[in-house]
Amino acid sequence: MSHASTASDLSVDHVVVDDGRRIAVRIDGDVGRPPLLLSNSLGTTFRMWDAQMPTLRGAFRVIRYDSRGHGQSDAPAGDYTIGRLADDALAVLDSLHIETAAFVGLSKGGMVGQWLGAHAPHRLTRLVLANTAASMGPAQAWQTRLETVMREGMGAITQAVLERWFTPGFRDAAPGAIAPVRDMLLATAPQGYAGCCAAIRDMDQRPTLHAISVPTLVIGGLQDPATPPAKAEEIAANVPGARLTMLDAAHLSNIEQPQAFTAALLDFL
């Protein structure tokens, strides 16, 4: 691992994965505690989990990372796949010599979690899939979004994304919680965002949900227009033994309902 930090962010290390790309990693909490890997949504960084950290770092060795294409990780051009993003997550664990960890992923992070649960269950102790979906058509909508971002930049979509991620009441009441998320979106490399859009465009994990053998908690948002309640219910109904918790929130439920979200995590993990 190479070490780096910026004035505006928490210090990170970088893991070089099998294709030579660098993934930014941040670790908090005692090395002797159980490892917990957190995976961010499309258009955010590991800082999206800041509201959970005061609680989680007391109970776990918390490993956060910036997904390929995001934050301080490399953003290669071209299409990514969910499998590639999952391989990056495994590389982070490998770099730390961690055999098994609990995994929490929200939105795109939850798509990575579904892949890991089906294809690498031996690496997970528990799995939390929050505000996510097993498939997110139509493909053309993702194609249009990635083309817009590549042509016009992240500013072209940021306001519309924020309106889907948070309820109107929360946007009005908590501008201080929205501002950092807006900053993360605007700072995301367009080609990294587009690469991840392609991964979501091409994804259909419905056929492999039944193969997830890890204890699984699905968290949904009752007011989530991006991954509606039916998407959470579909996953919970098809993952053997999965538990379902619905929160009164839109898409980034961990930010809109931080206490309820963190309580659900602790209860399950």
Query: Is the pLDDT score of 136 beyond 50?
Result: yes
| Best CA proximity match to 146, nearest among 185, 190, 184, 182 | 190
Distance CA 217, CA 224 (A): 17
pLDDT over 70 at 27, yes or no: yes
Q: Please calculate the CA angle 225-226-230 and round it to the nearest 5 degrees.
A: 70
Give the integer Cα–Cα distance in Å for 117 and 103: 9
Answer yes or no: are the C-beta atoms of 212 and 106 closer than 8 Å.
no
Amino acid symbol at 166 = F
Q: What is the pLDDT of residue 178?
A: 97
Give the SS3 label for residue 36.
Answer: strand
Residue-wise pLDDT for 169-195, tens only, equals 999 999 999 999 999 999 999 999 999
Place of tokens 């809109």: 256
Report whether pLDDT(4) > 70.
Answer: no
The answer to whether 110 and 132 have CB atoms below 8 angstroms apart is yes
The reported pLDDT for the residue numbered 160 is 97
The average confidence (pLDDT) of the chain is 96
What is the pTM assigned to this prediction? 0.96
The C-alpha atoms of residue 38 and residue 103 are separated, in whole angstroms, by 6
Per-residue pLDDT band at 1 (split at 50, 70, 90): low
The shares of helix, strand and coil residues in the chain, as percent rounded to the nearest 5, are: 50, 20, 35
Does the pLDDT of residue 44 top 80, yes or no?
yes
pLDDT of residue 6: 42
Q: What is the pLDDT of residues 204-215, one digit of tens each?
A: 999 999 999 999
CA-closest candidate to residue 199, choices 115, 81, 67, 89 = 81
Q: What is the pLDDT of residue 5?
A: 43
| CATH number of residue 71's parent domain | 3.40.50.1820
| Full domain range(s) for residue 257 | 2-268
Say how many C-beta atoms besides its own lie within 10 A of residue 91's C-beta.
19
Sheet holding 216-221, edge to edge: 2-4, 12-16, 22-28, 61-65, 35-39, 101-106, 124-130, 216-221, 243-247
Number of domains in the chain: 1
**Residue 268 — very low, low, confident or very high, per pLDDT cuts 50/70/90?**
very high
For residue 34, give the DSSP letter.
P
Split at pLDDT 50, 70, 90, the class of 10 is: confident
Percent of the chain with pLDDT strictly greater than 90: 96
pLDDT, tens only, 217-262: 999 999 999 999 999 999 999 999 999 999 999 999 999 999 999 9
More reliable by pLDDT, 10 or 141: 141
